Chains A and B, each alone.
Chain A
Amino acid sequence: MKCTDQMWHPVGARAPRVDGVDKVTGRAVFGADLTFDNMLWGQPVRTRYPHARIISIDKSRAEAHPGVVRVLTTADVPGSKTFGVVVPHQPVLCWDRVRFMGDAVALVLAESREAAREAARLVQVEYEELPSIFDPEEAIGPDAPTLHDEYPGNVAAHHVVRKGDVERGFAQADVILERDYTTQLIEHAYIEPEAAVALPGPGGGVTVYGSIQNPFTCRRAVAGVLGLPLARVRIVQNHMGGSFGGKDEVMSAMCARTALGAQITGRPVKIVNTREESLVESYKRHPYRMHYKIGVRRDGRITAMEVRMLADAGGYASQSAFVTWRSTVQATGPYVVENVKTDIYAAFTNNTYTGAMRGFGSPQAIFANESLMDEVALELGMDPVQLRMVNGFEGGSVTATGHKLDEHTVSLKEVVRKATEAAGWDGKRARLPEENQGKATRRGIGMACSFRGCALGAEGVDAAAGIVSVQTDGSVLVFSGLAENGQGLKTIFSQIAATELGITLDRVVFMETDTSTVPDSGPTVASRSTIMGGSAVRIAAQKARDALFEGAAAKLGAEPGELAAENNEICVAGDPARRMRFDDAVKIAWNEGRLMAQFGWHGAPHVNWDEHTGQGKAYFTYVYACQVAEVAVDTQTGQVVVERMTAAHDVGRAINPQSVEGQIRGGVAMSTGYGLLEEVELNEGITKTRNFDEYLIPTAMDVPEVRPIIVENADPYGPYGAKTIGEPTCELGAAAIANAICHASGKRIRALPMDMERVLLGRTLRPMRGRRGSEAR
């Protein structure tokens, strides 16, 4: 079974996935598939209350249980008792206090998974319940108990934008609208639950394998908890059964626990979450409450926007500060607004903590902002597309954060035009209301558009490494500090290396990300893989190629700069008769002692941010997208079916169009779930939706027909002009669906998910108390 066919698949070609064969044969190894001799199973003991003081932990009965080797508590932690990216305050095992239902207070290590589970029930923990807060508004209000001493008032984050003078702007407006929107708590729902195995060694350190999205972040957590230098902790990523931003902190905790167990017992330790545990323990997407005030003139020009958002951070800081920062930058959408006042808060509560999820603070803001634009259009009697054309960004526009967009092609209007034309917007927008007359099932069409900052932006240091090592037989190893999470990074990076070296993909072997092999390249987040890591691999491959060219040039009687590489051959550009096989060039370089293993390092262009005014160049470049939803609404049941979604995305350049289309289709499916189906229900901090029978994600029967439109405007900062695709695809679908529902039924739904109750009755029938997010009003 060949790993890939031997075709020449340069950048731009629809190369098959390099890990495809392993995955269709069952050979691909995922975290839970690993077993080692003498291995123990770990089972965390989780809290029974969402907020409580721990009085005592009695592990004697559990330790006496057959098969149990040890029960660990925080007293067994040699290093830091907590971890975390923004603030290291999340306990690996809680000692004095628990703050949400996923917190663990002890870790049972046993010979079998059953014994570990049974014994976990025997650990006797005495708690004193503390007053809990489940409502983020109450959390930042006057009488709330403080959940973290370092955050008085429970404000996990607060970001602002201050631009112009909103009062003056509203005074200039002919129409002012104020609206509230809410979004719900949702789960990443990767099909693979979290799994990790730690092995003692080498050299007094540990090695951890698992479903780890961000190996370097995880390494910092493990090293901190064990009190080891980073160099003694090796994190190796396995195949990942999906992540979508979701296997970060939850994996840091799991890996730190397995590593602790391995270090103390000297034996391999494995932990695998059940789906139920995963739903309780893993962080989720923030639910938001959003208040918008917008002023517009009769001609559609926006004169001012004032925005307040409140995100529920849950029990720990996780990435809330970064997530809400992205919402801050994108809160007023891809529109020119002279006067802006934005305040975005995240509040600690005793709900499940929230963090990174594909979109990262944009799906919430876009749902509100793009719903609002349609409400404004309706108010003005204007076509929604027209309103976007009046206000939308174009080359040289200045964003709400004061960034002049003059370094890349601002293609907002191009994507809007392409998507709406392909969907037949004008005709359907006019025709459907008439066709709906007297019908129970009514059809509608709606759109949303967005801009999105690429990579980390002013969130933090942004740089990545790649290594390309040409072997003496002409095969090639590629290493990257960024990780394959299922999105296709291995294929894209292999394609980049193959293109620069002029070889076919079958020669390239992409190595699993291993923190002891490549430099820290930051996290695999923010759709930064291609633009950052891809650039690094490209640089490394170019350097390796240059070494080969130098050797080959003499033989071909040309200068190195005159050579080109393609399809396993090196030739003189413009004179293809003068050529040699790639393998022969490798032999020459090897015999001449040339260095064929090369290193690439790519740092992002400069960005800046003033946190007091919210002004600055937030990101070095942006992508633009437009999605058009066509829905059928059953006015008798409230059921909504998304029949078609046309999705136009400017990706800069598609390194692999098949992979881009796959991202678009998957992202649209996910946003359909966000729009219509999904919600993690919490009751007083306790997860009610604990498996896929209650937490519904789209099946093959639920997904719309998707028409992907790839728009390419090469970006000066991306490899081959490529930018970003993972997250943009799933951030604007819910808004497009809401707008289509309104077009079909006349009902404006301002809360997610837009399930049958909301569509039919305009509200949810479930009990109000102790719930959060959408049902707050």
Chain B
Amino acid sequence: MEAVRVRITVNGEEHVKTVPTCMTLLRLLREELDLTGTKEGCSKGECGACTVILDGVPVNSCLVLAYQCSGRSVVTIEGLARDGLLHPVQEAFVRHGAVQCGFCTPGMIMSAVALLDANPSPTQREIREAISGNLCRCTGYKAIIEAIDDAAQRMAGWVDSQAADEARV
């Protein structure tokens, strides 16, 4: 098995690992870096449980090889909360009952965060499309869609109030 050295930034922290060329990003995260928040549901790009954000874009980490991520930056579910504060999307998921078994949740949240980063005020349809690659068997999706919608509005409010604060200074 050929091995390769990978220099990768995960949640702001740089790691250097020597891994087999066939190792997926998902396995690198879960097995080499102990970041087990990212889940494996199908290993085939069909369920979205393994979604992480790679250089700003949501990807199925089961379909990306670890060595392809050398020099790149990954954000996982463990990297969202800051200083003990939940990301607005995480908070909205709890508040809206968007979590049942929670297995789809990390991937779902990463898809939602990537969506809101790219499109801060999505329509319901855009939200549905953005998470259409993330399967959930428990919730029927409605609470998830509401949570993302609510997070978008709060984040917009938060950005506005920050802008207003800055303007005042």
Contact = CB atoms under 8 A, between A and B. Distances in A.
Given A665-B143, A666-B139, A699-B132, A190 B47 contact: no
Contacts of B100: 242, 486-488, 662, 666
Interface in A484-518: 485-488
A1 B140 contact: no
B139 A26 contact: no
Given A25-B77, A25-B78, A668 B102 contact: no
B137 A26 contact: no
A19 B132 contact: no
A91 B36 CA distance: 33
A20 B101 CA distance: 9
B90 A661 contact: no
B116 to A, nearest CB: 15
Contact of B86 (A25, A189, A244, A662): A25
B135 A692 contact: yes
Interface string B123-162: 0000111011111111111111100000000000000000
Interface string A647-664: 000000000001101101
B44 A691 contact: yes
Contact of B101 (A275, A485, A668): A485
A670 B46 CA distance: 18
A32 B138 contact: no
Contacts, number: 178
Given A25-B86, A488-B100, A668-B140, A697 B39 contact: no
B128 A701 contact: yes
B143 A693 contact: no
Contact of B103 (A21, A27, A242, A700): A242
Interface in A26-42: 26-30, 32-33, 35
Contact of A700 (B36, B94, B132): B132
Nearest to B27: A113
A26 B35 contact: yes
Given A20-B93, A658-B97, A700-B145, A665 B140 contact: yes
Interface in B24-48: 30-31, 35-44, 46-47
Contacts of A193: 40-41
Interface in B78-130: 78, 80-81, 84-86, 90-91, 93-95, 97, 99-106, 109, 127-129
A709 to B, nearest CB: 15
Interface string A231-250: 00000000111111000000
Nearest to B20: A114
Contacts of B133: 699
Nearest to B103: A241
A239 B102 contact: yes
A616 interface: no
A19 B41 contact: no
A17 interface: yes
Given A241-B102, A669-B140, A703-B140, A24 B135 contact: no
A16 interface: yes
B49 interface: yes
A6 interface: no
B19 to A, nearest CB: 13
Contact of B131 (A35, A191, A665, A700): A700
B76 interface: yes
Given A25-B78, A666-B139, A693 B49 contact: no
B37 A26 contact: yes
Interface residues of A, number: 58
Nearest to A701: B132
A1 B105 contact: no
Contact of B137 (A22, A189, A705): A189
Given A25-B77, A692-B135, A700-B131, A17 B140 contact: no
A15 to B, nearest CB: 10
A529 to B, nearest CB: 14
A585 interface: no
Residue among B43, B127, B140, B141 facing the most chain A CB atoms (10 A cut-off): B140
Nearest to B125: A701
B142 A706 contact: yes
Contacts of B30: 33
A363 B137 CA distance: 17
Contacts of B49: 191
B105 to A, nearest CB: 5
A192 interface: yes
B109 to A, nearest CB: 6
Contact of A25 (B44, B90, B97, B128): B90
A124 interface: no
B44 A275 contact: yes
A660 to B, nearest CB: 10
B84 A1 contact: yes
Nearest to B134: A700
A744 B86 CA distance: 47
B43 A274 contact: yes
Contacts of B142: 665, 703, 705-706
A742 B41 CA distance: 37
B38 A275 contact: no
Given A20-B94, A191-B103, A488-B100, A693 B139 contact: no
A20 B99 contact: yes
Contacts of B80: 25
Interface in A639-685: 658-659, 661-662, 664-670
B84 A706 contact: no
A26 B106 contact: yes
Interface in B41-72: 41-44, 46-47, 49
B139 A665 contact: yes
B46 A699 contact: no
Nearest to B131: A700
Contact of A16 (B41, B97, B102): B97
B39 A30 contact: yes
Given A658-B97, A666-B139, 9 more contacts: A21-B90, A24-B90, A33-B36, A191-B49, A239-B103, A662-B100, A692-B42, A700-B127, A700-B136
7 contacts: A23-B99, A24-B102, A191-B47, A239-B103, A658-B97, A693-B46, A700-B134
| 4 A-B pairs closest in CB distance | A26-B37, A486-B101, A241-B103, A23-B102
Interface of B: 30-31, 35-44, 46-47, 49, 76-78, 80-81, 84-86, 90-91, 93-95, 97, 99-106, 109, 127-129, 131-145
